[in-house]
A and B are shown apart, each in its own frame.
Chain A
């Protein structure tokens, strides 16, 4: 059968489709070099048209801008839909993505309701095959009631068949019976009512039912068009009908998605369950309300345990090297003035060098976090923790900024912008400094190792449990008192689990280490030198120094926790940067001639050590975080409240822990 096309004008074909479905590849394959590129009339958007030969006749084909629907949400969508609606093409070829039919069939759901004949080009078959999806084009064709052509345009596979089907449709050799989405009796009745109201006043170039549909979908352009065309009382009736059916837009779109669901279920064969549901099977545990929390606690516990176990010997080695270096420097500078040798050996190398011994801890910590993020687990952790907090009555979504605080509190404070209300932002901002950042954890790991040796891991895990409790209790108290309110839902995208990429992990770790080294070489270096000067002035004796005077002024507070003035000064110095605690103590104990790890047990009893670690864990954040709180809340009052709150709960909990340990007679 070789009927020729019998049209009174040159056939006009529109090529439509959502963005990224390979429409341009099909256009190029169909037109070859016969293309014309210009702009849409009066617009700056590119218009591509071309000539193609079908059954000995030349047809014009226009590549429409990519659009998800026929609603006028953007200029591209308006151009595409106006062309289809007003130019009445002889054929519309709708390109959909075989690997993402659910995302790309919506446009087709609208176009099949229009009078123009339709051919569906299901592109990207190769991508679908790679994903294990198998398309059954005959089934899809039967379900849609319009011709379906499977193809891979990038390999020109199926393009000839598409051309043949297009020619058949234009020649009337293919009888189509489109099966558009069923909107339901209630909506059909509503559409009839709307159509009746539009009556003969509707612009003739638009199908009346389509105009009624778009009005119910809340299309602003169509509304403006009809408001200008209809008599005021008629428009008032239309407007009143629209007001009574505000939710029609959801019903209409929902009906289209039900149709899409039916089409894809019929036409797509998915791989056997076992091959694709590794993520699902893992998520049955990882996102389970109970098992997920247990797993998260286990994973984080394992991370901290591994970091501690692996880094402890390396930190010891670094400390040995640092001791040797400072002794060598003292020997080399023995003939130099006391202040010069002290400044270089104790202030510069002793202070900053001690901070740099944290490198092994930080490398392992950042690598572990990067690993968890890269394999896709961190998102699950955030999800289950978020839900857990919600069950406790806290605003679940507050946990997302809190989760960011694990690396650094500053971006976490900035992340509170995602929260809807000022109350939620304030609550979360007040809680974020309680999340132990990498710097704080590294310092705590250092102290735990020096003070408690093989029990250090247990101490770290205990501190984390205390910290999590402090976050929950603080959150609950604030929620029940100052910051009451309702919460709203979040939808998260959980990535698929996959094998870790070593390059990504190395890059993440390296970038964070670089940041740490820069901080050590700038802020910590300068503050270390200032602290050394304050500890040496006015007479070169640390015990009569200005710093000692400040520390002794605070000693009444320290005595409640068994801490001497040097520990209190080190705590205060942590406000510059958490690692500054180590630099300060190294400077203040430099006279012993031993590494800080060796000196610490003589400075702190086990009970005082626990009190110090508890205060350090809950203490005021660094100036970077304080500055972020000020800029995000715009309030010095809130910033001061945050600092005071943390000072009170850190010292309060530290005193409590010390007194309990003292009463129990443990290591006082």
Chain B
């Protein structure tokens, strides 16, 4: 099932989300979320924070109102994840 999830992530056009992956795999969104967490623990996915909290120290603006994180939380495939995807595809 994790193999299918990895393939579904690889097949997605650009970004995808848990509900969409759940529809493609015919399972629940909560199970997909749990599997995504498992892929993170296995080192195949990594959580990415697309906001300025990554680099406040080097930010030349230092805005008081800077949003600490982006409006979305997201994960991307690691080199290990891409390698596994290459093996299974």
Contact = CB atoms under 8 A, between A and B. Distances in A.
Interface string A544-579: 000000000000000000000000000000000000
Contacts of A174: none
A415 B84 CA distance: 27
Nearest to A509: B65
A207 interface: no
Contact of B74 (A71, A260, A400): A400
Given A103-B34, A253-B2, A487 B14 contact: yes
Contacts of A253: 2, 38, 42
Contacts of B38: 68, 106, 253, 257
B65 A415 contact: no
Contacts of B3: 247, 250-251, 254
Contact of A512 (B13, B65, B73, B74): B65
A408 interface: yes
A400 B50 CA distance: 7
A257 B2 contact: yes
Interface of B: 1-6, 9-10, 12-21, 27-28, 30-31, 33-38, 41-42, 45, 48-52, 54-55, 58-61, 63-67, 70-77, 82, 84, 87-88
A264 B30 CA distance: 10
A387 B54 contact: no
Contact of B59 (A100, A373, A410): A410
A229 interface: no
Given A247-B84, A627-B60, A378 B14 contact: no
Contacts of A418: 48-50, 54, 74, 76
A58 interface: no
Given A404-B70, A493-B17, A515 B76 contact: no
A102 B35 CA distance: 9
10 contacts: A102-B33, A254-B4, A383-B15, A387-B15, A390-B14, A400-B50, A415-B54, A488-B77, A513-B65, A624-B61
A515 B51 contact: no
Contact of A410 (B5, B16, B52): B52
Nearest to A370: B67
Nearest to A257: B1
Given A254-B1, A386-B14, A415-B54, A624 B60 contact: yes
Nearest to B76: A490
A163 to B, nearest CB: 30
B13 to A, nearest CB: 5
B38 to A, nearest CB: 6
> Most chain-B Cβ atoms within 10 A of its Cβ — which of A69, A264, A373, A488?
A488
A82 interface: no
**Chain B interface main SS type:** mixed
A255 B1 CA distance: 6
A379 interface: yes
A236 B1 CA distance: 30
Given A382-B71, A491-B75, A410 B63 contact: yes
A224 B71 CA distance: 43
A508 B65 contact: yes
A414 B54 contact: yes
B77 A100 contact: no
Interface of A: 68-69, 71, 73, 100, 102-103, 106, 246-247, 249-251, 253-255, 257-258, 260-261, 264-265, 280, 283, 287, 366, 373, 378-379, 382-383, 386-387, 389-391, 396-397, 400-401, 403-404, 407-408, 410-411, 414-415, 417-418, 420, 487-494, 508, 510-515, 518, 624, 627-628, 631
Given A254-B1, A257-B2, A403-B70, A491 B17 contact: yes
A102 B87 CA distance: 27
> Most chain-B Cβ atoms within 10 A of its Cβ — which of A253, A255, A283?
A253
A-B pairs with lowest CB-CB distance, top 7:
A396-B14, A390-B14, A411-B52, A511-B65, A512-B65, A254-B2, A410-B61
A408 B52 CA distance: 11
Given A261-B27, A404-B51, A515 B15 contact: no
B42 to A, nearest CB: 7
A512 B66 CA distance: 7
Nearest to B45: A491
A379 B65 CA distance: 19
Contacts of B71: 373, 378-379, 382, 403
A515 B17 contact: no
B66 A518 contact: no
Contacts of B52: 404, 410-411, 414-415
B50 A401 contact: yes
Contacts of A417: 54-55
B36 to A, nearest CB: 6
Contacts of B59: 410-411, 414, 628
A383 B73 CA distance: 11
A411 B17 contact: no
A389 B14 contact: yes
